[in-house]
Amino acid sequence: MATDSLTIKSYPDLSLAVMRRRLDSQYRVWLLARHLDSFGRGRVLLKELRRFAVATGLFNRQSFYRFATARCLFWHRYHQWMYITGVKKLALALDVEFQSPPVLLPLACFSSMHDFRAVLVASYFADKPRTIAIDTLAALTGRTRRVVSRYLDSSHVRKTPNAMLSERRPSQPLVPELRDQGYFHTMVGGRHRVAKRMPNTYESDLETAPRGMTREKRGRPSSVTGRHPPGGEGPLPSSPEKDLSDPGGAPCRRYFCQPKGVNRALQSLSPHETIYTLCPGQTDGLGFQLWQGWTAVEAGDPRLL
């Protein structure tokens, strides 16, 4: 069976939710079942699914039946049929709001749970580059920083390190407290400057698919953070990226890669928000992509960090 070029449609917003709830093994079978249900009837023959899973080396006979015969949120069995839960019903049960288009995952990544989880994380960056703290990504996936970093490395996600230019004088040595906060000395355009480490920007080459049934009106808050999940409200470069650096309630960060919308955002900047604006084409001697940071003591009174 030629499966090298075969892809399976997945849903990045669902992927994060199932990883967080430790339901990724069931999600893997659910994706395969939906792929075989080419007519959209909401059901697939168990023997057909078993034949496909075993022939492609994704499961052996025993492990397949251990997953497929158990009743769960993703499906239920009736005689020789597996009845598949619909996308919208599953999203409602998991309190998921669709903000990203579906992503086409290579079938090869289904052969092991590590590869499968890694590509689920990578699918979150398929639609557009996202600037996000590793702690936030760890909270969204329910994994540790170390495990998430391994997933990013094994899935070949491109990483761009970022740093914020500081107004601090480079002639003064950095005290340990500032070094602990991520400040460091660097060279920018032949000048000594002080910069602060920022979350990385990640990007994946996974192909996206048309939204189809997942196109929904936004506005319902996420159950994870009480706000919209990080990742922005539209494709770069026209819209800013958002990152909740601490899902427990830290200030909201917004990243603007283009001048469009920056002035309006600065005038409406509130004390609990931080805005970062990209310095186009600027990098320091260490290869960091450079930004400027803005905050406000009072609403509408932006100041450089």
Question: What phi and psi values does residue 117 have, to the nearest 5 degrees?
Answer: -65, -40
Q: Tell me: do 53 and 38 sit in the same domain.
A: yes
End-to-end alpha carbon distance in the chain: 58
In this model, does residue 221 exceed pLDDT 70?
no
In this model, does residue 218 exceed pLDDT 50?
no
Q: Tell me: do 266 and 299 sit in the same domain.
A: yes
Please give the residue that has the higher pLDDT: either 181 or 246.
181
Range of the domain at 69: 1-157
Residue with tokens 């792929």: 35
Q: Tell me: do 5 and 67 sit in the same domain.
A: yes
The confidence score (pLDDT) of residue 207 equals: 92
How confident is the prediction for the chain on average, in pLDDT? 82
In this model, does residue 242 exceed pLDDT 60?
no
Count the domains in the chain.
2
What are the pLDDT digits (tens) for 6-50?
899 999 999 999 999 999 989 999 999 999 998 889 999 999 998
Helix, coil or strand: residue 142: coil
Question: What is the average per-residue pLDDT within 254-270?
Answer: 84
Residue type (1 letter), 144: T
What's the pTM value of the predicted model, to 2 decimals?
0.80
Q: What percentage of the chain carries pLDDT values higher than 90?
A: 40
Inside any domain, residue 216: no
What are the pLDDT digits (tens) for 71-121?
789 998 888 899 999 999 999 999 999 989 999 999 989 988 999 999 999
